[in-house]
Structure 1
Amino acid sequence: MRDAHLQLDSRIQRWIFNQGWHGLREVQAKAIAPILSGKTDVLISAATAAGKTEAFFLPACSVLVKSDDGQNSDRHGKEGESNGVGILYISPLKALINDQYRRLESLAELLDMQVTPWHGDSPRSKKQQQKKSPSGIILITPESLESLLVRDAGWVKQAFGSLKYIVIDEFHAFLGSERGQHLLSLLTRLEHLTERLDSPIPRVALSATLGDLGSVPKSLRPNQSLPCVIIEEDEATASIKVQVKGYVQPSKLALEADSKNINVENPDAKNMGIEPPYTAEAQVCADLYRFCRGGSHLVFANSRQRTEMIATELSDLCERNIVPNEFFPHHGSLSKELRESLEKRLQKEALPTTAICTMTLELGIDIGKVDTVVQVTAPHSVASLRQRLGRSGRRGDSAVLRMLITEDEIDKDTNLIDRLRLKLIQSLAMIRLLIISKWFEPADTSLYHFSTLLHQVLATIGQWGGIRADQLYMLLCKQGPFQQIQPVHFKSLLIQMGQMQLLTQLGNQQLVLGIIGERIVGHYTFYAVFKTLEEYRIVTGNRTLGTLPVETMLIPEQYIIFGGRRWQVKDIDMDKKVVDVISVKGGGKPPAFGGGGMSIHDRVRQEMYEILSNGDYRIQVGNHYVDFADETARQLFSESIDTFRRYDLNNQPVIDQDGNSYIFMWRGDKVVNTLVALLIRHDFIVEVYAGVIRVNEVDSIQIHQFLQKLAAQPLLSAIELAETVPNKLVEKFDEYLPEDLLTIGYGAQAFDIGGLKEWLARFGK
């Protein structure tokens, strides 16, 4: 391994020497031989800043320059001739493309190699030069590649005809999503267009966060026409420092007293200029100010609203304390100029800078050395937490993660679910899974992606002008990634598309775009298969309560929490995007932590159960146990354990409380959704919070009887359950799907029948 670099072109060896490197990193040395061979796909899984990008580009560029040297000598260097693009680099983000372009500049200059960033904001002159004389490397998003295939397939065939590698950065960001399915379909269509299906173009995937590595090669190339070499880090990675800090949101009475300056117990906040009342959010901001001032940090706040609130409060604190502001927001709604300005400030490392961000800085944009990563509120997933943690600990330092978790003060009205402190327990579980088990959520490969398939039917017809149905099915489903799609599904889709004038069939059996299809494909928004979540208006009578992005399952008669109150869903108007609700009295104070919708994995909730059952969250290192929680977090954990034991939740999955029943499944959201849908179908009044189901005005005996009855009989299918859900329009082109496919697709996305059967079998013991 030590001499692996000697296999590279001498110019690339010189570039490595010029960087001042003492040698190649582990994954870089391991990747050289399989990439140089050009006969296999390669999956490189290593931590952020472990050198994955160079692990691919150094050997790949070595192949390119040797190939160019050979062809140039054969042609005697005829001016204007080009041997085509050699590397197609695909990224989920324009910003990441710009960053990689900057990182490749010195290598490309040394090798006299053309490198072209290709997206909507790229300089036209660089694209024109590549169009005129295609060569070297193109850095592109899936959407821009789709645009090229549809609008300029002839040039693509000529430019990519001798393509040597396709590399996909941040591959985990694509896995299991409609955008990932789109990307895989694009790659199949590209191989078909360039007549490379029989001699496939090697695909290289780069990621810091891949769960179940053994299953990933099938996701990288569904038809498995090439073998895949998996490269992982074996060497010990940098140490990790973790702290979980707890905060208690005072009760309303305590806040009122605080606002009158009675019993002030927060001198730190007062000294910084924060005025009472001292809410948990104010305490969080005071600590962020103390932790982060003078350094370089990333603070992940999950939502745009919380991001802006924290950034504004910290900026105000700088002003009150008469110091320069060093706290700035970063999220998708900000202008490109504001985001890039903050990224450049972080890269320069000249001024102390803290970015308060959503997931926009989660991926691998180079932002220089980050001292710490701070997570405010429970993270969405272990994979996301791992990706964020990887932004810290570069250049051999320890990675530092602070997690700030807020829970409500307990009073006589506090709900049972809030007494369990599930935000804290979920955060502790994710940290343990990350550090001890090194586990991340695997991609969900059970989905059909009918919306993306419809898009690809339109795109492929747009690319070729016309194509037969059997050719489409062979290309997209047999050779491409839509391998779950049966001929009966495909036929149903094409019939519906014909009826909606998306396509039409000519006398020679060719399918061509219909009137509506031409309009859709011709619009600039067509090339992306994803859409932002649509906001639904929440309406009671003639009054609009507000808007809500509907990302969870909604069924009539279900209870929801909105604006801190309980409401019952009476109707959902999909066309007008309106949810009609009525106010529901009683039931006590609603829980504060609702959790995710279809996001939390079984393994996370089972780890939460293990922590509570064992009464211990600490991490064992050798013969010692490391406690990474502060005093407040430990007190919150103690309250959670007291509640767990008081209600014997270790042995009792169903309990009575306040005239209602609570079902503790400790399973992921797909399993929980399945039981919720069955309960509603049998006329139970149901609420669900963070994986806990509350059944109103029913005792545990009735619930036990119902669950035993479920366990003893065949369950409804996911399709039958999906038929009861009105809001199935989740993905961009769902509105054009026939009802049967919409129902099949939603059922696979929302429900887990097998998981519920397994839980019921355990419940019956």
Structure 2
Amino acid sequence: FKYIFDHTRGRKCLVFANSREECEAVTSTLRQYCEAAHEPDRFLIHHGNLSVSFRETAETAMKDDSRFDTTVTTSTLELGIDIGKLERAFQLDAPFMVSSFLQRMGRTGRRGAPSEMWFVVREEHPESRTMIPETVPWKLLQAIALVDLYVKDKWVEPPNFERLPYSLLYHQTMSILASGGEMLPRELAERVLSLNYFKRVSKEDLKLLLMHLLETDHIQKTERGGIIVGLAGERVINSYKFYAVFQENIEYNVKCDSQELGTIVAPPPPGEKIAIAGCVWVVEEVDHKRHIVFCHQIKGKVPAYFGDCPGDINTVVLERMHRILCEGEIASRTEPLLDVGDAERAKDIGDIHVQAEILEEHFETVNSEDAKKEFPYLMKNATARLKMARHSAKFAGLDKECLLHLGGNMWALLPWLGSYSFLALERFLKIKCAQRLNLRGFDSARPYYMQFTMDADRKKFWQVLKEEAEKEIDPMELVYPKEVPYFDKYDEYLPQELVKKGFAYGVLDISGMKKRILGLCKQNLD
């Protein structure tokens, strides 16, 4: 943060964070730097949960060419809002998509000046017994991959037409009734389903939605058989928030028995873990109507869950990250990095402590010029960190293996899959394969890697995955029994059947997951 503080002084800048919580924390820290340096506060904040007056204050200040303020923001200032001439943009860690990177960089360099985007990637120093997957600089690789994909390939994420937009279906159904008044069911269906975005929505889906809305009084049936907006629906459409179809950050109170622990956004399904109040908790139940999460405390470390990841990282990005990590030149010298004695000292690839000692012994003799030439936009520390990561990955065998033995019955799987293919794989392993492999202790850092213990060797693991992946998979089988995965703004008004179907068929990338599994099985079993 000191780096950002120094390099925004005397300039008009944006600092992009990937979440509202991070945005608040960064702004607070930068303001503390101002106070410590006895400088006037020059940092503003802008995100979707702030009041309109706070957001307008930041927008007005940024338009004033006589002021040199910096606004810390989320995606709310990524596009659309005029905030005047900007000199520089900073990105904390990496955005999730190439399109976001381009939009954010495009906010700078207007009026004839070149665009300027600075990535500030943070990384905690690993503990002495940290496992290999946790030592990979994931955010650095992600930042390099996003830039590399656009600079070299001019690649940007293609639009996704595979979603089942049931939340939007509710919004458009209510909007048409509000603007057009009473309609016969047939007329309403023709108006709604003729919209191109609903080409994957069937008449049966719409009928199921309308029956549910009748039961919940969001719509009513007239004596003539027509449909009008009901009392509950009136309360929804009369709110100014109804006109925005994007999801808001709704806070849920987290409780253990009668004790209130705090609040979270986008709670995970029952059975998943969350971290709050300095402890780890397992979710027992989610009450979406009252916005309450009930849980109980356990020991251990919390994994990420899909609600934590606000961006859809494409599989192409993960594949490029793998290529950057494993296919670059790892040394400019001819002798091997490790000798036989070194290899004996570091047999257990899960023990990074020994590896770190070995790498540090050799690292000063390794020239980083090759990595610098490969990615000329990397600064000295980033180049050195990439170089060290490549040595560690080569030694761990990440260029050849994605299933790593961490010692004993502990394993790690690095599938190099995008967010929703990874999520499908995670559920596939838990629901379809866990019993045959006696798989347990499952922790994920989505979408990078998953760690678990199992009573199987490498060959049996791939054999079981191959047999299960070759079977026909009903996407609904990958939805947990008690799970109602609210994903979009109006999901709470939908029948649970449509919510589950929209998640299973429109969010989980089962085809991408199966393609990767079968490819890896062929590679490891042939």
Alignment of 1:674 with 2:424, yes or no, is yes
**TM-score, normalised relative to structure 1:** 0.57
Give per-residue Cα distances to partners, 1:545-594, cap 9 Å, x unaligned. Answer: 4322126xx444445555665544444444444444444446xx667999
* Alpha-carbon separation, structure 1, partners of 2:49 and 2:491: 25
| CA shift for structure 1 position 677 | 1.3
1:516-555 correspondence runs (5 A): 516-540=232-256, 542-550=258-266, 554-555=268-269
Contact 1:536 1:547 in 2 (8 A): yes
| CA shift for structure 1 position 293 | 0.8
Give the corresponding residue for 2:33.
317
* Alpha-carbon separation, structure 1, partners of 2:81 and 2:234: 37
Identity, % of aligned positions: 27
Change (3 A) 1:679 1:433: same
Contact 1:564 1:590 in 2 (8 A): no
Alignment of 1:287 with 2:3, yes or no, is yes
Alignment of 1:656 with 2:405, yes or no, is yes
Given residue 673 of structure 1, which amino acid in structure 2 is its aligned partner?
Answer: L
Which secondary structure state, in structure 1, belongs to the residue aligned with residue 121 of structure 2?
A: strand
Give the corresponding residue for 2:466.
708
**TM-score, normalised relative to structure 2:** 0.81
* Alpha-carbon separation, structure 1, partners of 2:241 and 2:75: 23
5+ residue gaps, structure 1, are 1-284
| CA shift for structure 1 position 667 | 0.7
* Alpha-carbon separation, structure 1, partners of 2:292 and 2:509: 28
Contact 2:484 2:499 in 1 (8 A): no
| CA shift for structure 1 position 500 | 2.3
Moved more, 365-374 or 559-568: 559-568
Give the corresponding residue for 1:395.
111
Give the corresponding residue for 2:319.
606
| CA shift for structure 1 position 382 | 1.6
Contact 2:96 2:311 in 1 (8 A): no
| CA shift for structure 1 position 419 | 0.5
Contact 1:655 1:700 in 2 (8 A): no
Moved more, 666-675 or 562-571: 562-571
Give per-residue Cα distances to partners, 1:440-462, cap 9 Å, x unaligned. Answer: 22232111221221232222222
Alignment of 1:300 with 2:300, yes or no, is no
| CA shift for structure 1 position 625 | 4.0
* Alpha-carbon separation, structure 1, partners of 2:369 and 2:323: 13
Given residue 653 of structure 1, which amino acid in structure 2 is its aligned partner?
Answer: C
* Alpha-carbon separation, structure 1, partners of 2:188 and 2:495: 19
Given residue 315 of structure 1, which amino acid in structure 2 is its aligned partner?
Answer: R
Give the corresponding residue for 2:210.
494
Contact 1:555 1:724 in 2 (8 A): no
Change (3 A) 1:319 1:546: closer
Contact 2:12 2:70 in 1 (8 A): yes
Given residue 128 of structure 2, which amino acid in structure 1 is its aligned partner?
Answer: K
Change (3 A) 1:498 1:364: closer
* Alpha-carbon separation, structure 1, partners of 2:128 and 2:293: 32
Give the corresponding residue for 1:134.
none
Alignment of 1:745 with 2:502, yes or no, is yes
Alignment of 1:730 with 2:443, yes or no, is no
Given residue 703 of structure 1, which amino acid in structure 2 is its aligned partner?
Answer: F
| CA shift for structure 1 position 614 | 1.0
Which secondary structure state, in structure 1, belongs to the residue aligned with residue 326 of structure 2?
A: helix
Contact 1:377 1:403 in 2 (8 A): yes
* Alpha-carbon separation, structure 2, partners of 1:416 and 1:544: 36
RMSD between aligned alpha carbons? 3.2
Contact 1:441 1:601 in 2 (8 A): yes
Between structure 1 and structure 2, the one with the greater Rg is 1
Give the corresponding residue for 1:57.
none
Contact 2:463 2:521 in 1 (8 A): no
Which secondary structure state, in structure 2, belongs to the residue aligned with residue 408 of structure 1?
A: coil
Give per-residue Cα distances to partners, 1:251-307, cap 9 Å, x unaligned. Answer: xxxxxxxxxxxxxxxxxxxxxxxxxxxxxxxxxx22122211112211112333333
* Alpha-carbon separation, structure 2, partners of 1:358 and 1:424: 19
| CA shift for structure 1 position 596 | 2.4
Give the corresponding residue for 2:333.
none
Change (3 A) 1:605 1:295: same
1:36-55 correspondence runs (5 A): none
Contact 1:574 1:727 in 2 (8 A): no
Alignment of 1:644 with 2:393, yes or no, is yes
Contact 2:34 2:40 in 1 (8 A): yes
Alignment of 1:687 with 2:443, yes or no, is yes
5+ residue gaps, structure 2, are 331-367
Contact 1:448 1:484 in 2 (8 A): yes
Moved more, 382-391 or 299-308: 299-308
Change (3 A) 1:687 1:539: farther
Q: 1:418 aligns with which of 134, 158, 166?
A: 134
Change (3 A) 1:507 1:327: closer
Alignment of 1:596 with 2:354, yes or no, is no
